[in-house]
A = this chain, B = another copy of it.
């Protein structure tokens, strides 16, 4: 699998777009902003994601320095994912986004589309 290096972008916004790209990465960041989680916990929380796709995206975010992966050498193995410092800053940005979109959605109720 090809993992793009986020840091190779010239344009900051293209970099951001790559980071949150696809159907699952935003959910991963949001979930980990609550607390560190194990692979199976993430898979349960992100209802519908397959192991392959979840692993692919976790690898991309880890490679980009936004999350970190800690292996506990127990039997059976336990792996914990958490946000790095940069990942936590990103989750702050996502809070702003969440606020804006929340307001946007409420304004939407005032709009009447008569069809």
Contacts and interface: CB of A to CB of B under 8 A. Distances in A.
B12 A102 contact: yes
Contacts of A97: 12-13, 16, 93, 97
B96 A93 contact: yes
A30 interface: yes
Contacts of A19: 101
Given A26-B17, A65-B111, A12 B86 contact: no
Nearest to A9: B105
Contact of A15 (B15, B30, B90, B105): B105
Contacts of A13: 26, 30, 94, 97-98, 101
State the oligomeric state as a number of copies.
Answer: 2
A12 B89 contact: no
Interface of A: 6-7, 9, 12-17, 19-20, 26, 30, 65, 85-86, 89-90, 93-94, 96-105, 107-109, 111
Given A13-B97, A97-B97, 11 more contacts: A7-B108, A7-B109, A12-B105, A13-B26, A17-B26, A65-B108, A65-B111, A89-B100, A90-B100, A93-B97, A96-B96
